[in-house]
Structure 1
């Protein structure tokens, strides 16, 4: 794989050919060495600067949240709720691993379905209003050119033998994640490492077995959790997959009509509509993914200090599992 600390290969075994230049299309990005025909290219700097890690979209001048790119050189961004008309001005922004903008791509908007394209370089496919995703691809092929050492300091340096080098991310495949068993498993490189992050908090870095299989148990996973798994090569984590954990089959629907009432300086009351089949409810406070309180009824009496502010969310439970969370509801206790 090229996505290692050093990419290796074979080159011309000539005394005058001692270096190889690396290009991202027509842009020079790095120089590697050729010693006795053995090519070595230091990759972390190339990958951090010249390889896409995340994308966002800009709609009518407003940038939306970033999401990871796919590992296969493609990307997709959920746009059904944010691109409404053919007159919208939409751009895709590609970010490298250092969080710096690499490229900005214009997105053509239409009202009829179009087939996704496969092209070289970075591109955004035409988006049909009402479709789920904006799709496209990012550059994942570098070009190597052997450099004639005899003329390397001359403005007329001779470069030749262009060779494409596909950037291959380490293998990373995830099995379905359930909020009931709370196990993250899948396949990566044999004996490789993966890093697990749940809802923005790093959890563990387990090692896969000799076949590449890994399995991680994490009690912090609940319905709606955002699970990020990254695969390690060398000293960094170039590959990643992000999954939003669904509610399990048979779990209650998310409670509705969450509201706050009867607010005083030190008390307030939360209420919500019953979820059919629910046997209990969990309350979450201030965006924490750890349950704060549980109740079997559809209300909860709050206490606090004058002038303080909090947010609350509620889920419904039954024997099959837990629903997704409600939207946040703020509670602002009255000042003294």
Structure 2
């Protein structure tokens, strides 16, 4: 318990965080959960056999609030301090893609309902599942969630998740939402719901009043964007050579993300828009990251119309998910595609790029929450 709270208090003392009663309450609850998990007998241990049953899993947490309120920061403190072996932290969208793949494998065995064996397999792998950004956007996910998570909880898995929405607003106005309502009831019955909606948007505060579209490309723009990345992710600047990368699996293909941490991704225009990419790649990126940094955007026109078309698809995907875009380019948005075939179609992209620089857009939550 002391470990989580000591780390949180140290951030307050250093001035990295401002005192926030809701954050402090959430930190205490996460610390209590860490203590409970560390004290719970391990699966298959002697105490399990003495009891003759599975020990009841500690009650999970659903932490929700507006963008930039410190949800991911608190999850970092909790997950890093938690001293158990079988723990996993994963972005919720990535987990659900994995679930669909594993269900397909189970169905191929033709042994009946594929969900119970999957839940049992996951429970063998982890005691804690920690999700970043629970957000349900499609009917297949909605149909699976209630049954899968009921079984996971029965198998002794503790779930902790962050979200921009309260449970009652998940999958709001979704197709056949009535079938999803048991999942909302499950969250409210089996997890503690914690709200983080303090007055400070820490993520927006860290961006300050900078221009998110830098002109021209070059060392100065790259240096500024690099500084933004380290501020947004709290990654030590002195370890800049060791920033982690990530690979997203999209329709069986791998999309390499050169730098990825805490929901922030960095790409070059060349890798992102001049290589063979499709809308599915950009949608996956937009769902996975709340902030995308793109460097090296050139002036566009008929000579690089394929790259321009992919850039349009990228901006459409980022805009729909309210992803923050930080970019370095050779021209302002209105001058990016000056003339020639395709210029007329680029007008909507210009409009979206301008809106994505506005305070209203930057204050919106990822996914439009």
Structure 2 length as normaliser, TM-score? 0.26
When Rg is computed on C-alpha atoms for both structures, the one with the higher figure is: 1
Q: Which has the higher strand share?
A: 1
Which structure dedicates a bigger proportion of its chain to helix?
A: 2
Q: Which has the higher contact order (CA 8 A, sep 6+)?
A: 2
